[in-house]
Structure 1
Amino acid sequence: MPHTTVALLFGGRSAEHEISVISARAVAAHIDRQRYRVLPIYVARDGDWYAGGVAEEILRLDLSSLIRSSSLESASATLRRMAESSGQAPFNFDFRHIDVAFPVLHGSYGEDGRVQGLLETLQVPFTGCGVLASALTMDKALTKLAARDAGLTVAPSVTVLSREYHADPAAAHRRAQETLTFPMFVKPVSLGSSVGITKVHIEDELPEALAHACSLDTKVLVEEAVKGREVEVAVIGNGEPEASPCGEIEPGGEFYDYEDKYIHDTARLFIPARIPAPLQEEVRQAAITAYRALGCRGMARVDFFVDEGNKSIVFNEVNTIPGFTPVSMYPRLMEAAGTPFTLLTDRLIRLALEPEEGASA
């Protein structure tokens, strides 16, 4: 029986390039090679695509250890040298030879619907959410609007367009301060892995935080900080999604930022979350509500803030291509739900090959 060919897409043009490489390495190590033939496809930072050859070499690189022992900049330079010195030209591949794609492209140009649209146009099935859900959930501001419309509680916030901010910074400062109370989080709406996020405690810190976020994205979300535990749920499935047990993150610093996640490893993870069982079940149901409201399929990680004192559950965001690194919550939560990593990759591929409900033949 011929193997199913799985194109593993990783790298990409976003600020999460290195995290994508680390995630893809873990996915590649947990795909059942008795059933699937893996074709690694590396997307360099400049947008060039490489199949086989250098892509396989990069997957063998322990980039996570390199980042910890050296620096993120050193890891980026290593990837760039490997692509440039390979002597391998960017490829022009016939996607008709691929049975299913497994995108592990975090952030812009990979998680935001662009690659999903390409694959749909080429009629290649792929793991994870489709174009609409990928694009919608990539925008934190629009995601909150959809979640609120579905009946979920979200933090008070204002949205700032970067072009308007640069035209009149003082107006943006006033609007945020008149609408919200400190402390606040300032977030680029379309970046993941906490890239560009700043916690603002007092008025004097707001201008620098807004300037930084507006330099990274076309739109910025300013929202009140929410008191409560950071709780995440892994959701998997198409028409009948299932929610994992709740997991909790205790940040090593003020919040779970990029360095806390991938460099210093100071955060503590708890599965199950340290909240009462009835509240955990409410969070799991809220995750399913968000997943369905946003049109997700395949997989997503849904994040909340939970205050067990007043039993409040505040929706935070959805990640449609969650991390698959050794420290990532999604595979850990799925394992706690009874689906270890190898079975998880198999299940995601099978879900990708299921016909989409309501789709015309």
Structure 2
Amino acid sequence: MKTNIYVIYGGKSVEHDVSLQSAFSIINSLDKAKYNVYPVYITREGVWCSTKIVKETITELKELKHCNFNSISGSLGDFLSKHFKKGEKSIAFPALHGSNGEDGTIQGLFEMLNLPYVGNEVLSSAVGIDKVMMKDLLSLGNIPQAKYTSLLLHQWQENEEKALEEIENIIGYPSFVKPARLGSSVGINRCKNRNELISAIKEAFLYDHKLIIEKEIIGREMQIAVIGNNCPKASVVGEYIQERKFMDYNAKYVDGRLVPVIPAPLSDNISEAMRQTAIKAFKLLNCKGLVRVDYFVTAQDAYYINEVNTMPGFTKYSMFPALWEKTDGTSYSELIQILIGLGFARHEQKNSILHMRWEA
């Protein structure tokens, strides 16, 4: 009997469109002779739209956006009632980025359904998407990172002048203002003075009520892909050659001008140190399945973790699959199968835990 794979994508997130691109590649890469592939589209309003089994190659993104429901609860109820039948082997593949998908919420639903799923669990997903919490935990492991501070919306509304003075005293300029719980470089701005800082804060608060403000580090932006459960492995280091000050949304997903360099030109000692640090971060955040660790590397070969991404993109521009292909020859399709296997293995291990008091 074939394994059912539910590729879940879209969602109530500013990264909705990026998710569609990831799902497009994942669905087309899955072996239809081995798997029953079910696309599950979540609209921007949160409505679940389950379509029929995909047996052929999808040629256009619009094929992934069919929906016949208006109600969130009704659509979710219909999806659950039609699938996950007894005796069938099933797994969810959340190709969701950002809010309501990469933040532990949908992972909590899978846990309640006792459904195997690809990627990180509730805790690591929630911590990984919150850049402030993530950096607080990484600091406990003495992992190098940029100086940072945070700002909550109510603090800004109560006293803008005080908030600005604290940021300027702690971080200074140039600085970067980011929504704390978003990815794909949405809502991020570089600030050289107070006027730019005010404007950046106001824009970032459109996307989140919690911000992180970081001191600028001048360096190359590099990435490492980590896969595994109990014994994670790190890829070689890769970097993008870019024209802009930082990789914003358009640079990543629209312009297509980023040129990947894999492996990145680094000394063996620095490369290995970064790989070991990536694994250390993976373990500190209790990650499972996969993580992409993003770095800054200065001209003096000092390296700093910028952030971790617990569900990195799988678009045609994505670094994660390219890193593994250059590391050990793992193809895109093989990588997907490895991640599916890791999801099943974690599920089996978790199901070995007792949920009632043991008596001799």
Task: Note whether the superposition's TM-score is higher than 0.5.
Answer: yes
Contact 2:20/2:64 (<8 A) preserved:
no
* Deviation of the 1:227 alpha carbon: 1.5
Q: Which of residues 57, 60, 63 is equivalent to 2:58?
A: 60
Q: Given the alignment of the two structures, is residue 92 of structure 1 paired with residue 79 of structure 2, yes or no? A: yes
Q: Given the alignment of the two structures, is residue 48 of structure 1 paired with residue 69 of structure 2, yes or no? A: no
**2:2 aligned residue:** 3
Q: Which of residues 297, 301, 326 is equivalent to 2:316?
A: 326
* Deviation of the 1:148 alpha carbon: 1.2
Measure, in 1, the Cα distance between the counterparts of 2:272 and 2:141: 18
**1:349 aligned residue:** 340
Q: Given the alignment of the two structures, is residue 256 of structure 1 paired with residue 247 of structure 2, yes or no? A: yes
The amino acid that maps onto 2:235 is: S
Contact 1:147/1:315 (<8 A) preserved:
no
* Deviation of the 1:103 alpha carbon: 0.4
Contact 1:252/1:268 (<8 A) preserved:
no
Q: Given the alignment of the two structures, is residue 83 of structure 1 paired with residue 76 of structure 2, yes or no? A: no
Q: Which of residues 339, 353, 357 is equivalent to 1:360?
A: 353
Measure, in 1, the Cα distance between the counterparts of 2:308 and 2:239: 15
Contact 2:47/2:69 (<8 A) preserved:
no
* Deviation of the 1:265 alpha carbon: 1.4
Describe how 1:275-294 pairs up with structure 2 within 5 A.
275-294=266-285
* Deviation of the 1:262 alpha carbon: 0.7
Q: Given the alignment of the two structures, is residue 296 of structure 1 paired with residue 282 of structure 2, yes or no? A: no
Describe how 1:1-361 pairs up with structure 2 within 5 A.
2-53=1-52, 60=58, 62-63=60-61, 82-83=66-67, 90=75, 91-94=78-81, 95-97=83-85, 99-307=90-298, 309-337=299-327, 338-355=329-346, 360-361=353-354
Contact 1:237/1:351 (<8 A) preserved:
yes
* Deviation of the 1:79 alpha carbon: 8.0
Contact 1:32/1:346 (<8 A) preserved:
no
The amino acid that maps onto 2:43 is: A
* Deviation of the 1:85 alpha carbon: 10
Contact 2:48/2:69 (<8 A) preserved:
no
Instruction: State the secondary structure of the residue aligned to 2:79.
Output: coil
Runs of 4+ in 1 over 3 A off after TM superposition: 59-63, 82-86, 89-92, 355-359
Cα deviation, 1:155-187, whole Å, max 9, x if unaligned, reads 111100012112222221111101112110000
Unaligned runs of 5+ in 1: 64-74
**Identity among equivalent pairs (%):** 35
Instruction: State the secondary structure of the residue aligned to 1:354.
Output: helix
Output the TM-score relative to the length of structure 2: 0.89
Instruction: State the secondary structure of the residue aligned to 1:153.
Output: coil
Measure, in 1, the Cα distance between the counterparts of 2:133 and 2:240: 25
Unaligned runs of 5+ in 2: 355-360
Measure, in 1, the Cα distance between the counterparts of 2:68 and 2:244: 37
CA 160–61 in structure 1, closer or farther in 2 if over 3 Å, else same: farther
Contact 1:165/1:214 (<8 A) preserved:
no
**2:358 aligned residue:** none
Contact 2:223/2:239 (<8 A) preserved:
yes
User: What is the count of residue pairs matched by the alignment?
Assistant: 341
Cα deviation, 1:109-149, whole Å, max 9, x if unaligned, reads 00000000000110001000000000000100110111111
